[in-house]
A = this chain, B = another copy of it.
Amino acid sequence: VSDARLIERTIGRIEPPDEAAAAAARRALDAKTKPRGSLGRLEEIACAIAGIRRTPELGELRAVVVVAAADHGVAAEGVSAYPQSVTAQMVENFRSGGAAVCVLARRAGAELRIFDLGVGAGTANIAHGPAMTRAQAERAVARGIVVADELAGEGFDVVVLGEMGIGNTTTASALTAALLSADPAAVCGRGTGLDDAELLRKIEVVRGALVVNRCDARDPLAVLAALGGFEIAFLVGLALGATVRSLVVLLDGFITSAAALVAARLAPASARSMLAAHLSPEPGHALVLAQLGLVPLLDLRLRLGEGSGAALALPLVHAAVAILREMATFEEAGVSDSGR
C-alpha cells in the first residue's frame, strides 16, 4: 500500500471519542466521596480518557514517550542559539539517559523511544524553497502511522509526543503562520534563547519562507511538505495513527502542537484524542492550542521541548485515572452525600 493511500485510509477511519464511555466515567466520579466536580480538571481528564479509550474501566495506563529527531535546513539561517550538530549530540544524550526527557519519563514510569527521522540528513532550507517533496512528507507521516499501530499492538494506552531538531521552532512557526494565516511576528518566540535582534531575524526568515513557499492552507500535507520538518511529519502520522487505535495523545510544547494542528486539519476529530500537557512561552503555542480546543494542564514556563513538559504532566494523567479507579463511593465508605 502506498504512503498516500495509507494516510488517506487512516484519516478515513478516525472517529470521535465514545461519548457513552465518557458519560459513564462522569457518573462513576459523581458517586465518589467528594463534592461533585470538586477535583476540577482532574475529573474532566478522567472522562476525556474514558471517551478516547472507549471504556470507563481504565486500568493503570501504559505510556510511551516518543522523541522524533531530525535536522532542519533552516538552521543555516542562524535562527537557533545552538549549532545544528547539537541535534545529533542530544540524540546520543537521549540514548544514554542524561537528557531532561529521560529523567522525567523515568520518574513518570514511561518508556522512552527515540526515532531518527533525518538527523544529519535533514530537510532543505525553507528560506530558499520547500523543506521536502510531497513524497518525502508522505513517507514520514506514513512511518508515524505504522509506529502508532505498533505501539498500540505493544499495549500502550498513552503516546507522548516529543521532538528534537535544532531550528524546529522556526519550522513550527512557519507551519503555524501558514495554517492559521497568522502574522509571523505573532507566532515566533525566542526558542532556546534568542536575543531581540535574533528574534527579529527569525521573524524575517519565517516571513520569507512563507513568500518563497506560497501554498494552499486547505492542503495541509502540501503546507507540511513546504514548511515542516521530518520529525514533525512523523508526529503528524503518529497522532493520526494513535487516534485510530484509540490511544491518548499527550502533546508537549509548541512543536508537537504544530504537528497536532496538521493532524487536526487532516482529520478534525483527531484533536479530541489529544491532551495538552503545558503552555510554552512561544507565542504560537497558545494560538495552536486555541485552534485545537485544548487547555494546557501546566503553565510552568517550560521551553525545552523533547517531550519534557508532557513527561512532567504524565503523573497528572495517571492521577486522574486513579481517582476514577480507586476512590471509594459514598455508599462504600458510609459517607453522607449532600447531592452536590
Contact = CB atoms under 8 A, between A and B. Distances in A.
Contact of A41 (B40, B42, B301): B301
Interface in A74-128: 81-83, 85-86, 89-90, 92-93, 96-100, 103-104, 106-108
Contacts of A340: 81, 192-193
A207 interface: no
A216 interface: no
A312 B303 contact: no
B328 A35 contact: no
Contacts of A104: 319, 322-323
B40 A90 contact: no
B40 A322 contact: no
Given A40-B301, A40-B302, A322-B103, A336 B82 contact: yes
Contacts of A99: 33-34, 327-328, 333
Contacts of A96: 328, 333
A56 to B, nearest CB: 17
Contacts of A334: 89, 92
A139 interface: no
Nearest to A35: B192
Nearest to A45: B300
A27 to B, nearest CB: 17
Chain copies in complex? 2
Given A103-B327, A327-B100, A33 B90 contact: yes
Contact of A304 (B38, B298, B315, B333): B38
Contacts of A41: 300-302
A36 interface: yes
A39 B308 contact: yes
A108 B97 CA distance: 23
Nearest to A318: B107
A299 interface: yes
A335 interface: yes
A193 B98 contact: no
A297 B302 CA distance: 12
B336 A89 contact: yes
A294 interface: no
A154 interface: no
Contacts of A336: 82-83, 85-86, 89
Interface in A169-214: 192-193
A30 to B, nearest CB: 12
B107 A315 contact: yes
Contacts of A332: 98
A316 interface: yes
21 contacts: A33-B93, A33-B99, A34-B99, A34-B100, A38-B303, A42-B302, A82-B338, A85-B336, A86-B335, A89-B335, A90-B335, A92-B334, A100-B327, A103-B326, A104-B322, A108-B315, A297-B300, A299-B299, A312-B316, A312-B319, A315-B316
Interface of A: 32-36, 38-42, 81-83, 85-86, 89-90, 92-93, 96-100, 103-104, 106-108, 192-193, 281, 297-304, 308, 312, 315-316, 318-319, 322-323, 326-328, 332-336, 338, 340
